[in-house]
Amino acid sequence: MAENRQSTGPVTLSLEGGRRPERADAARNRRILLDTASRIVRDEGVAALSMESVAAAAGVGIGTVYRRFGDRAGLAYALLDEQERDFQAAFISGPPPLGPDAEPAVRLRAYLDRYVDRLAEHAELLATAETHRYQSGAYNVQRRHLAMLINQIDPQLDGPYLADALLAALSGQLYLHQTTEAGMSVERIRAGIAQLLRGIVDG
């Protein structure tokens, strides 16, 4: 499903060109809803984040929540959106090792490393958002970034496929399983990714 139904305004990834600006009441509601959702996650955990609970706590109808965020996964994405933008901005125009002034292989490492940081910090929210991962704009941006780096390192490789594969290994659901069920440490996960990269970085 789309990020936002008729998405306007300065929202989720700004993939759309500048459309008509968001109406004032809509903008106000968006902020109220995000603040409310954020508070629910902080106080009661991601599991307590239901569309109905957010609507009730924010004092709006449930239809409004759906209009704004499309579905539960969309709401979770919206909560992660700010960091997502920072991440992307750092990649596109920030300093090395993530930004464009570093070697592709270095950037790739840095990118995945930062991604693991995000997982460690927001695994539950990411896992929730992942319900419709492949339909999200965020996924496609990440995928493009990775594919580009991989092909800068080695044009012979199938960048888009390998991007999918790497991102699959960085799924929030898998991360949760690895850390809470399988007893893996974050360091082990980082090291594992490094091993996975050997075939890509070292040709």
| Nearer CB in complex with DNA: 28/188 | 28
Q: Does 119 bind its own copies (CB under 8 A)?
A: no
CA distance 63 to 68: 9
Q: Does 64 bind DNA (CB under 7 A)?
A: yes
Instruction: Pick what 68 binds: its own copies, DNA, none; C-beta below 5 to 8 Å, kind-dependent.
Output: DNA
- Contact pick of 11, 34, 41, 51 for DNA (by CB under 7 A): 51
For DNA, the binding residues in 130-149 under the rule CB under 7 A are: none
Per the CB < 8 A criterion, the answer to whether 73 and 129 are in contact is yes
Q: Distance between alpha carbon 94 and the CA centroid of its chain, in Å? A: 18
Structure tokens at 160: 């888009």
CA distance 5 to 81: 16
Q: Residues for the chain: how many in total?
A: 203
Structure tokens at 95: 């300093």
21: which DSSP letter? P
Q: Does 102 bind its own copies (CB under 8 A)?
A: no
CA distance 150 to 166: 11
Q: Does 152 bind its own copies (CB under 8 A)?
A: no
Q: Does 188 bind its own copies (CB under 8 A)?
A: yes
Q: Does 200 bind its own copies (CB under 8 A)?
A: yes
Q: Does 198 bind its own copies (CB under 8 A)?
A: yes
Instruction: Pick what 193 binds: DNA, its own copies, none; C-beta below 5 to 8 Å, kind-dependent.
Output: its own copies
Per the CB < 8 A criterion, the answer to whether 130 and 118 are in contact is no
Residues that bind its own copies (CB under 8 A): 133-134, 157-158, 160-162, 164-165, 168-169, 171, 173-174, 177-178, 181-182, 184, 188-189, 191-193, 195-200, 202
